[in-house]
Structure 1
Amino acid sequence: MNRNLQEEIEEIEEAEDDYVNSQSWTVEKVAARPDQRVGWFTQTFPPIAVCWLILLVIMGLRIYFASLWRESESELMAANRNLKNLNDKLCVLENQITNLTTVNQELEKQSQKLETQTHELETRNQELETERNLKGQIQNMETTWNKVNVSRAQWSIDEYCPKENKVSGRLCKACQEGWVLNKSSCYLFYDADPPDQKTWDEAREDCRGRNSDFIIIDNKDEQYVIQSNSWHDYEYWIGLRAEGGRWKWIDGSDLNESDWIQDQPPTDGQCAVSVQDNRLKQYEWISVSCAERYRWICKKKSLSV
């Protein structure tokens, strides 16, 4: 583009030189004839003036367009430089974005690791807290158990070996006060009146609270003890109840002497009571609902003295 514009300017300059030379030759030719000078000048001046005017316009346009071209070229070069600078900056920004993306990915990985570690630490902390609570509970239970054992030991001493007086000291017995001794066992016949009578489960809990359990009658000698110490026509809970269509003692053993209880099939929810029938002069076991309320008999081993 720059070369074509320069060639056009050179052609315009050559045309101007040719025109000036031709005019000089014409003037010389006219001057050779003085008598025609005035007429010739009058005829040729307007075209010459027009030509000069055109030439001036062309030169002005040439200068104007040359100026515009230089300004445009300067602007284009400045714009080109700006674009190049912007391109360089964009390249730098792209590199920075790439680096930031890589850094962000690394940070996300580290964040995920930290979250995992935090979760693991929280889980471990909960486990430690639970373990600490359990240790505290165990210590409290051990302390309580020790106190209970001491209390039970003192209670046992006081129950089995009560202080008679300051002189004679303690006098130990095989069974506590109110319990009946038979060989190596102690029996409690709880003759509660109807307001204080209990269901089978409630009565068994009472026996357990006395470090004993329901009586299990597995021999004639023990049956005789019950007959001898039971009130006539009073029903007492014993450790026998129906489970799975069979009569079972509280130690899990089956009832062997089936003729000792009423002749009726065992039904779950039924328990046995012992009765000394004074009218019939006989002792028997009767099947009743476990939810009924009766007296009860507890049994435990005697103290060796």
Structure 2
Amino acid sequence: MNRNPHGEIEEIEEEYNYVDAPAWTVDKVAAPQDQRSLFFTQSFPLIAVCWLILLVIMGLRIHFTSESNAKLTAENQQLEILMHLNSTLLAAHENLGRYCNNLTVQFDLLTQNCTVLESKIKDLTAVNQQLTADVQNLTTRSLQLETQRNNLTKQIQNMETNWNKLNVSRAQWSIDAYCPRENNARLCKACQEGWRLNQSTCYVVHDAVSTSGHKTWEEAREVCRRESSDFVIVHNQEEQYALNYYSWFSTLTTGYWIGLRAEGWRWKWIDGSDLTVSHWTPQLPPAADGQCVMSVQNVGWRSVSCAEKKRWICKKKALYV
């Protein structure tokens, strides 16, 4: 297929000379035509070979191009598959990352919950230990109370025995006090020895002349109680007459304690009743706490400090058989 450019120039020159040559030169013109036929005849196998080679090359090119295209197509398909797999893996990786983040958050929350639970367990353990100690203390206290109860039961039994004995003794004392034995016989009286009978009441007057025998309101009342009696209280005129009568040798400063004192800024009798009948001198004083009342014969009642020491009068019911 490739032709020599120099040969082509020579052929063109020969053709030019042939056109311009005279007619008489026929022999000379025919000679180049034979040479070209000879040249073509000689060149045809080479040209055929070249065409054959070209056809082979084109066939191979077409064949390899088809194979290459098939390979490229397959590779493209594989690449698309790989790209799809890659995008799928990327999406899966992102999902896995989010899942891992969620797991991390949940793990942190679980860690915090575990910390809180551990703290609560410690608190509950401390509470349980405290409750155990309290139960032990209560058990010990219960045993102590049981022991005390048993002791109190024994004491109550002893007190009941002693009380029965005391009642017998008191009964005997009452019999001896109110019914003294005289000449192997008993003569009973409404009031015991030293007490004065006034209607249905017995009175005793503690009228010591010396101030050493005087007592405060509380001390004097305690003496009355030991004698199974109490201070004089006045709810009617008859009781006031008796009180005034037994308040002998009294003055404005040396009267006799009676059962009336100030409580809660009110005058109250020792039996809990309020003051209704009054015989004040000169008039009703304010009921200031710490103030008690004494009786002055033929004068009336006076308010003085309960801490002062005065004489006093006790009374109790007379005995009737």
Assess same fold via TM > 0.5: yes
- Aligned with residue 257 of structure 2, among 232, 237, 248: 237
Which structure 1 residue ranges, 5 or more long, are not aligned?
1-111, 277-281
1:126 aligns with 2:147: no
2:147 & 2:206 partners in 1: Cα distance? 48
Structure 1 position 174 matched with structure 2 position 190 = yes
Residue 247 (1) aligns with residue 267 (2): yes
Q: Secondary structure at the match of 2:171?
A: helix
2:221 alignment partner in structure 1:
204
Query: Which residue of the partner structure matches residue 271 of structure 1?
Result: 292
Report what 2:199 is aligned to. Answer: 183
What is the rounded CA distance, in whole Å, between the counterparts of 2:166 and 2:300 in structure 1? 40
- What is the alpha-carbon distance in structure 1 between the residues aligned to residue 158 and residue 257 of structure 2? 37
1:241–1:247 contact (8 Å) kept in structure 2: yes
**Distance in 1 between the 2:235 and 2:134 partners?**
65
Tell me the TM-score normalized by structure 1. 0.56
Structure 1 residues 154 and 119: CA distance shift in structure 2, 3 A: same
The match for 1:304 is 320
Judge which range, 142-151 or 119-128, deviates more: 119-128
- Cα distance change on mapping 1:146 and 1:265 into 2, 3 Å: same
Contact (CA 8 Å) 1:262, 1:287: kept in 2 or not?
A: no
The whole-number CA distance in structure 1 between the counterparts of 2:141 and 2:239 is: 59
Work out the CA distance in 2 between the residues paired with 1:265 and 1:120.
Answer: 52
Assess if the C-alpha contact under 8 Å between 1:200 and 1:293 holds in 2: yes
Partner of 2:268, secondary structure, is strand
User: C-alpha displacement at 1:162, in angstroms?
Assistant: 0.2
Conserved in 1, the CA contact under 8 Å of 2:281 and 2:299?
no
Q: Are residues 1:284 and 2:291 paired?
A: no
Aligned identity (percent) is 59
The code of the aligned residue for 1:254 comes to D
Assess, with a 3 A threshold, how the Cα gap between structure 1 residues 118 and 161 changes in structure 2: closer, same or farther: same
TM-score (norm 2): 0.53
Match of 1:257 among 257, 277, 296: 277
**Structure 1 residue runs of 4 or more that deviate by more than 6 Å after TM superposition:** 114-121
In the alignment, the residues of structure 2 paired with residue 185 and residue 132 of structure 1 have an alpha-carbon distance, to the nearest angstrom, of: 44
After superposition, the Cα gap between the structure-2 partners of 1:122 and 1:262, relative to the gap in structure 1 and judged at 3 Å, is same
Aligned-residue RMSD, C-alpha? 2.4
- How much has 1:116 moved relative to structure 2? 11
- Residue 152 (structure 1) aligns with: 170
Q: CA deviation at 1:126?
A: 2.8
Structure 2 unmatched ranges of 5 or more:
1-128
Partner of 2:74: none
With over 3 angstroms needed to count, the CA separation of the structure-2 counterparts of 1:209 and 1:116, relative to structure 1, is closer
The offset of 1:255, in angstroms, is 1.1
In the TM superposition, what is the alpha-carbon distance from 1:303 to its structure 2 partner?
0.4
**Shift of residue 137, structure 1, vs aligned partner:** 1.3
How many residues matched? 186
Aligned to 1:139: 157
Aligned to 2:233: 216
Alpha-carbon distance in structure 2 between the residues aligned to 1:202 and 1:124: 41
Secondary structure of the residue aligned to 2:292 is: strand
- The offset of 1:163, in angstroms, is 0.5
Aligned residues of 2:268 and 2:274 also touching (Cα < 8 A): yes
The answer to whether the 8 Å contact 2:280/2:302 transfers is: no
Q: 1:160 to 1:123 in 2, by over 3 A?
A: same
Structure number with larger C-alpha Rg: 2
2:182 pairs with 1:164: yes
Q: Which moved more, 1:210-219 or 1:123-132?
A: 123-132
- 8 Å contact kept, 2:232–2:243: no
CA shift in 2, pair 1:224/1:138, >3 Å: same
SS of the residue corresponding to residue 132 of structure 1 reads helix
Match of 1:103 in 2: none
Shift of 1:261: 4.4
